[in-house]
Structure 1
Amino acid sequence: MDPKKKETSKKEEELVDNIQEAAQENCETAQENETTQETPSQEEEVLTPEQALTKQLEEANAKIEDQNDKYLRLSAEFDNYRKRTMKEKAELIKNGGEKSISSILPVIDDMERAVKMMETSTDVAAVREGMELIFNKFVSILGQNGVQAIESKECDFNTDFHEAIATIPAPAEELKGKILDCVQTGYLLNGKVIRHAKVVVGE
């Protein structure tokens, strides 16, 4: 046989073998793809109605548990806040007058000195002057704490501030319905009546 023809025949055989191998590989690849498509992955697996319902129930239970935990935490925080607020309120009620009492103590000191002085003093005018100073000091301290005397003398009678304990004929026409005398001074605390003034009204 001619060597050239022999070489050509050999090349043709190799070419045919390569084509057959490629065709076989393509067939195997196609079969693998078909197998993959026919067998769905676990993630894409379709759930039955019972499985879907079970999954939803588990998610709902987890959400309920989380909300319940949040509620318990919030309830505990509110309970602690309520207890702390009640404690602070009780302390405020108990010691709320501390500032006012502390401001009055100097007046008590002055009163003690005045009492001791009256035991030996014979100067009535000096004692009276000392008592007036103490009184004015006391009224000033009350004013600093929001206490104010209610004006009454020759003012119009007002049931919001005054309490009439007696009525007498007015000495003049213009004094009818007005306060002629104040038996007991009334007081306001930060604008609120804490004691009505007891007065005598002209009629």
Structure 2
Amino acid sequence: MTETTEKKDLVQEDVQAENEKTTEETAVEEQVELTIEEQYEARIAELQAKLEDEENRHLRLRADFDNMRRRSQLDREAAEKYRAQKLLSDLLPVLDNFERALQVEATSEEATSIVKGIEMVYRSLVEATEKEGLQVIKAEGEAFDPNFHQAVMQEQDSEKEAGVILRELQKGYILKDRVLRPTMVSVNE
């Protein structure tokens, strides 16, 4: 019986050892399964983060492109709107000279006909510049505005309010909504 008992004990120990192995193997297998699942979940999370980053990058690039296109369109519109700015700026002294020439008193018939010719050329030039959007800045009798006027003198006239323009010394011009040259004025103290 001892032998039988010993055999039973051995069998039980073998069964126990197998059970322990099976339990250990199961635990290891479960750990392996968990680590594989965790790896899959980590990989999925990593891929989702990359996807979100790429989507954000795509949206930023698209917004940058839209902004660039909008700026380019505005630049083209401004270039078209102010295409004649340089030419008109160069013509301002010519207009000034024509105005000075027209202020000369004609004493003879020949001088009168020359003045009429100069006046016709001056009017054509003014019409052409007005078609491009050039306008004279009104000054005399207006309130002084540093955006449109350049004060070069101060005078005193008790009949008018302070800050009112008394005299226009040189005409100022505006192209559409840009000041090409401010009007030089004398302002009441």
What is the TM-score when the length of structure 1 is the normalising length? 0.48
Would you say 1:199 and 2:181 are equivalent positions?
no
Q: Does the 8 Å CA contact 1:149/1:186 hold for their aligned counterparts?
A: yes
SS at match of 1:152: coil
CA distance in 1, matches of 2:80, 2:70: 15
Equivalent position to 2:46, from 64, 69, 81: 64
SS at match of 1:157: coil
CA distance in 2, matches of 1:176, 1:154: 10
Structure 1 residues without counterparts, runs of 5 or longer: 1-44, 112-121
Q: Name the counterpart of 1:165.
A: 152
Indicate the percent of aligned positions where both proteins have the same amino acid.
Answer: 18
Deviation at 1:190, TM superposition (A): 5.7
Q: Name the counterpart of 1:126.
A: 117
Count of residues in correspondence between the two structures: 139
- Pairing 1:153-192 to 2, within 5 Å after superposition: 153-170=140-157, 173-177=158-162, 178-188=164-174
CA distance in 2, matches of 1:190, 1:131: 21
Bigger radius of gyration, 1 or 2?
1
Q: Does the 8 Å CA contact 1:184/1:198 hold for their aligned counterparts?
A: yes
Q: Does the 8 Å CA contact 2:170/2:184 hold for their aligned counterparts?
A: yes
Deviation at 1:199, TM superposition (A): 0.9
Superposed CA offset, 1:74-114 (max 9, x none): 42563465367547746864784245437999xx9xx9xxx
Alpha-carbon RMSD: 4.3
CA distance in 1, matches of 2:179, 2:126: 22
Aligned residue identity for 1:167: Q
Shift in alpha-carbon separation, 1:166–1:71, aligned structure 2, 3 A? same
Superposed CA offset, 1:126-145 (max 9, x none): 332132122133124215xx
CA distance in 2, matches of 1:48, 1:55: 10
Shift in alpha-carbon separation, 1:49–1:186, aligned structure 2, 3 A? farther
Shift in alpha-carbon separation, 1:62–1:81, aligned structure 2, 3 A? same
Of 125-134 and 85-94, deviating more is: 85-94
SS at match of 2:139: coil
Deviation at 1:187, TM superposition (A): 4.5
Aligned residue identity for 1:60: A
SS at match of 1:51: helix
Q: Name the counterpart of 1:12.
A: none
Shift in alpha-carbon separation, 1:104–1:169, aligned structure 2, 3 A? closer
| Higher RCO structure, 1 or 2 (CA under 8 Å, sep 6+) | 2
What is the TM-score when the length of structure 2 is the normalising length? 0.51
Would you say 1:136 and 2:127 are equivalent positions?
yes
Q: Name the counterpart of 1:38.
A: none
Would you say 1:101 and 2:122 are equivalent positions?
no
